[in-house]
Amino acid sequence: MTPAPVFITDAEARALFTPDVAVDAMREVMKSFSAGEVTQPVRTVLRPPARGGSEPGLFGSMPAHVPFEGGYWFGIKAVAVREDNPARGLPTHVGTVTVFAPDTGLPVAVLPADTITELRTAAVSAVAAQALALPGPHTLAVAGAGIQARAHVTALAAVLPIERVRFWSRRVEQAQAAAAWAEATHGIAAEACASAVGAVRDAGLICTTTAAKEPFLGDADVREGAFVAAVGACQPGARELSSELVAGSSVFLDSAEAAAKEASELLVPAREGLLPSGLAHPELGAVLNGTAPGRRDERERTVYLSLGLAAQDVAAAVAIARRHAEHAGRAPGGTWWSRY
């Protein structure tokens, strides 16, 4: 009989995919991606019409073939996006990440997509900050106060010296709760700010993790030398940064191909004539590989635009699955995945 894949829970994934493991895994996969070692199409998104008065949301499928943990892995993230889920006490993004053994193609493990997305997104931002931010200590400003906001504080605090954190959210009580969490969990001085501009003042690290459709940070709001991880605008039509801010910064991408099709943060200022025609922005992985320049001087503002890659999901899932096997006594040594 065909062996069944292991189902790994949210709690197990979080315990196994610690920030140090996550950052190392994401650094490796970003380097592989920009070196041309990953096979990955631009994601497919189904946007069916509402039927019977019910809004179906979106459904995305993101396959990839990724070199990681001693083999080339097929994997796929399948995720439904329901904006009304928070009212049910559920994440907006729900689904699974499935990885398949390199030698047999059998499914090895199935993991919760929302957990993988949360942890890998923040870990890649931490990798980008290590490569593109000035040395600390830092004031970290976070726009948003939800799951991604907290994940970014955890990931960044694991790799950079953070002195204080400022949160801004359109719901002030959420920002206050996030500040209390940061102080209790990480021992970092934290505060809630009444405005996004107030939160980012003199901050050297900025993470935008909102569901905004229109920009809320302008060119004059972000100081020289700052690093921005722009995470929330991961779908066409969404923006968090003004055209002038993007045009006045050095921009780095996870995927140049995906950004050319989906990154409104770039497409809008290009249509407005604020970015030169044909301007090529380097990928983070190319900077890590030493094939593209990173930050050039202390006054340069650097912006990492995150759309998210299936390769990141697959690498994260494989890293977790390997550690799950180790904890179960089925590794190390040999083809550990066959021991499932």
pLDDT band at 90, cuts 50/70/90? confident
Per-residue pLDDT at 334: 60
Which of 182, 188, 205 lies closest to 131 in space, CA to CA?
205
Residue 13 has a pLDDT of 98
pLDDT > 70 fraction of the chain, expressed in percent and rounded: 97
User: What are 193's two structure tokens?
Assistant: 């700010």
pLDDT, mean of residues 135-140: 92
pLDDT tens, residue by residue, 42-54: 888 899 998 887 8
Write down the pLDDT at residue 279: 75
Dihedral pair phi/psi, residue 236, rounded to 5°: -55, 135
| pLDDT tens-digit map of 262-301 | 899 999 999 999 998 777 899 999 999 999 999 999 999 9
Concatenating the DSSP letter of every residue in 194-228 gives: SSHHHHHTT-SEEEE----SS--B-GGGS-TT-EE
Q: How many CB atoms are located within 10 Å of the residue 52 CB? A: 5
Mean pLDDT of 304-313: 96
DSSP 75-138: EEEEEEE-TTGGGGT--SEEEEEEEE-TTT--EEEEEEHHHHHHHHHHHHHHHHHHHHSPPS-E
Span 178-207, average pLDDT: 97
pTM: 0.94
pLDDT of residue 332: 54
Token representation of residue 271: 């249509």
Q: Which pairing describes strands 93-100 and 107-112: parallel, antiparallel, or unpaired?
A: antiparallel
pLDDT at position 337 is 76
CB 246 within 8 A of CB 265: yes
Q: What is the pLDDT of residues 99-136, one digit of tens each?
A: 999 999 999 999 999 999 999 999 999 999 999 999 98
CB 338 within 8 A of CB 104: yes
Cα dist. 12→95, 226, 244, 258, 268 in Å? 16, 35, 43, 31, 41
**Parallel, antiparallel, or unpaired: how do β-strands 205-208 and 138-143 relate?**
parallel
pLDDT for position 331: 58
**pLDDT given at position 53:** 77
Rounded to 10 degrees, the C-alpha dihedral 320/324/329/333 comes to: -20
| Local confidence band at 69 (pLDDT 50, 70, 90 cut-offs) | confident
Name residues whose C-beta falls within 8 Å of residue 87's C-beta, 6 or more positions apart in sequence: none
